[in-house]
Amino acid sequence: MQALVVAAHGSHLNPDASDPTYAHADTVRETGAFDEVREAFWKEEPHFREVIRTLEADEVFVVPLFISEGYFTEQVIPRELRLEDWDPERWNSDGTDASQATLEATDVGKTIHYCGPVGTHDAMTDVIVQRAETAMADPDVGEGVGLAVVGHGTERNENSAKAIEYHTERIRQRDRFDEAEALFMDEEPEVDDVTDYFESEDIVVVPLFIADGYHTQEDIPEDMGLTEDYRLGWDVPAEVDGHRIWYTGAVGTEDLMADVLLERAADAGADIGDAREAVRELAASVAGTEPSAGAGAGD
């Protein structure tokens, strides 16, 4: 038997914070690739601390639904899961390379394959591109369009920016969009000045966040000048300084995220059969038929 645990932050205050976690876990459940699929949280229940004991499987794949390697993936989650012999060195990563480490959870005697976060997996690049497609309701989006990948950025954790820059560079190399730039909320270059960094008239903005909330639905739209007050909502596209800004919120809500969960687990040795194909087909059909307009203050 094998189980998948999707480890996410969650919130004591905002019930929507866990929505993407549940949605992507459900998608994986429906593939039948794992005997058990469980959500686990830092701020909700089941807590990281107790989740492994709720599983019957002896082989457990834990995938953090986080954007960057850092405090949560290197300290909090392994500590709370009681992973014996954990050391960040086990990942041998310089900030975006974490793949997996196999460890024992001391309270339950199970084998845990502790994976790197979804945000730094190569498959995340595809999710960002798909987000641009759904935001512009155009599966062929690219020509004549600039793509801005937006991250939080923080001086406390250099890895926070690395994930954003890593995917931006990968997208740039694909030569699909006319321009690709990494922008941040708390460091230079700042998302406030988004139009300064693009010549393209159309700019699609994809925030590399897991869930929609304060930053993606309040801060960023106001900072970019899409709206004066997030409560009034905004148009997609919105006119700013002679550019059209296409913005729909956190990339973590994109259906293709379930594929990244599966890839992380497969990289760590999980037998997932043809689950990835099923998820990719599902995500593509959703993207093709139901572009999420998403104007306004979240859903």
Nearer to other proteins, 26 or 299 (CB): 26
> Residue 240, interface with other proteins (CB under 8 A)?
no
Beta-ladder partners of 84: 104
> Residue 107, interface with other proteins (CB under 8 A)?
yes
Least Cβ distance, residue 241 to other proteins (angstroms): 38
Nearer to other proteins, 67 or 203 (CB): 67
Of 26, 122, 228, 229, the residue at the interface with other proteins (CB under 8 A) is 26
Least Cβ distance, residue 154 to other proteins (angstroms): 13
Query: H or E element: which one contains 126?
Result: helix 123-136
Instruction: Provide the token pair at 205.
Output: 């903005």
- Report the alpha-carbon distance of residue 190 to residue 254 in Å, rounded: 24
Residue 164: CB atoms within 10 A of its CB come to 25
Least Cβ distance, residue 24 to other proteins (angstroms): 13
Least Cβ distance, residue 226 to other proteins (angstroms): 28
Give, as ranges, the residues between 72 and 91 that touch other proteins (CB under 8 A).
Answer: 75-76, 79
Least Cβ distance, residue 239 to other proteins (angstroms): 36
> Residue 35, interface with other proteins (CB under 8 A)?
no
Q: How many chain residues touch other proteins (CB under 8 A)? A: 25
Instruction: Provide the token pair at 47.
Output: 């807590």
Of 6, 8, 15, 297, the residue at the interface with other proteins (CB under 8 A) is 15
CB < 8 Å & 24+ apart, contacts of 41-44: 41/7, 41/8, 41/9, 41/10, 42/8, 42/9, 42/10, 42/72, 42/76, 42/77, 42/80, 43/9, 43/10, 43/11, 43/12, 43/17, 44/10, 44/11, 44/12, 44/18
Give, as ranges, the residues between 145 and 164 that touch other proteins (CB under 8 A).
Answer: none
Q: With both helix axes pointing from N to C terminus, report the angle between 257-267 and 19-31 in degrees, rounded to the nearest 10.
A: 60
Of 6, 31, 32, 54, the residue at the interface with other proteins (CB under 8 A) is 54
> Residue 51, interface with other proteins (CB under 8 A)?
yes
User: 221, 164 in Cβ contact below 8 A?
Assistant: no
Least Cβ distance, residue 171 to other proteins (angstroms): 32
> Residue 44, interface with other proteins (CB under 8 A)?
yes
Ranges of beta strands (E only) in the chain are 2-8, 36-41, 59-64, 83-84, 100-105, 110-115, 145-151, 179-184, 202-207, 238-240, 243-247
> Residue 23, interface with other proteins (CB under 8 A)?
no
Instruction: Give the residues lining the site for other proteins (CB under 8 A).
Output: 11-15, 22, 26, 41-47, 49-51, 53-54, 56, 71, 75-76, 79, 107
